Amino acid sequence: MKGLFIALEGPDGSGKSTMIKGLEEYFKKKGMDVLITREPGGTPIGEAIRKILLDNRNRSMFPETEALLYAASRGQHVREKILPAIKAGKVVLCDRFILSSLAYQGVGRGLGIEEVRMINDFAIKGIRPDLTLFYHIDPETTLQRKTRKRGGDRLESEGIDFHRKVYLGYLEILKKYSNNVKIIDATKTKKEVLNQSIYCIEEFLKGRKSNETYNRHSPGPGRTKFTR
Ligand code: TYD
């Protein structure tokens, strides 16, 4: 199979990390080579940027600085790790991608969805996941759970108003950028959420296969790179 780029998105504590492990197992059982990665981070430079972004001491960071740092980490990540893995035919499972910036910086920080999309387009030249799985869950419950467990990093420690804004931002963005995004009910049990995720992936792959058969006769635009 050719490479596949899947991003997992959702509010803080929506269970993405657990799902990534389950999905890794699913793909490995099918004999596929899987790369698990995350944002911000994923490369040595990206992980250094991550430390700056999540450090509770950096409370004086301006929203613009924050948005540019997330985009910088993403630019490095795409070129150094994601694209080479896709070219090598791997399945890339990425914990968060561009929709996080649109929701957290675009809406949460009030920078504007279009403005944040533009700086990301500069950073990653329009590279988009083949499929995005959005884990839909109310942020109140999940955030309480997470900050109680380990104090919370700079973003998690933002008040509930910020996280509610991010959540509503995600819903607004999903209306606009619904292309290849599947919404998963993350309030269900882990097993049910994993099954929903696998179902969405299989449906996507079926669609891709039938498009390929069609495109053999009429070649369409390349994969992975989308315009809006
Ligand atoms: P992390 O501990 O990885 O959070 P989670 O497990 O919920 O994914 O920390 C990443 C934090 O950075 C998280 O609060 C979301 C935020 N974030 C942005 O604000 N913008 C972005 O573009 C990305 C990728 C993450």
Structure-block tokens of residue 82: 């994601």
Coil, strand or helix: which one is 185?
A: strand
Which domains, and CATH codes, for the chain? Answer: 4-217 (3.40.50.300)
Q: Is the pLDDT of residue 224 over 50?
A: no
Kindly provide the residue ranges of all beta strands, DSSP E only, lying in the chain, ordered along the sequence: 4-9, 34-38, 91-95, 131-136, 181-185
Residue 32 CB neighbours (<10 A)? 15
Strand order of the β-sheet with 34-38 is 34-38, 91-95, 4-9, 131-136, 181-185
Closest ligand 1 atom number to CA of residue 71: 22
Task: Render pLDDT for 111-167 as a digit per residue (tens, 0 to 9).
Answer: 999 999 999 999 998 899 999 999 999 888 787 666 556 668 888 888 889 999 999
Task: Render pLDDT for 42-75 as a digit per residue (tens, 0 to 9).
Answer: 999 999 999 999 999 999 999 999 999 999 999 9
100 pocket-lining for ligand 1 (C-beta < 6 Å): yes
CA-nearest residue, atom 19 of ligand 1: 104
Confidence of residue 225 (pLDDT cuts 50, 70, 90): very low
CA-nearest residue, atom 20 of ligand 1: 101
CA-nearest residue, atom 8 of ligand 1: 12
- The pTM (predicted TM-score) of the whole model is 0.91
Closest ligand 1 atom number to CA of residue 38: 3
- Cα–Cα distance for residue pair 34/154, rounded to 1 Å: 30
Q: Work out the angle at residue 175's Cα, subtended by the Cα atoms of residues 194 and 162, and round it to the nearest 5 degrees.
A: 80
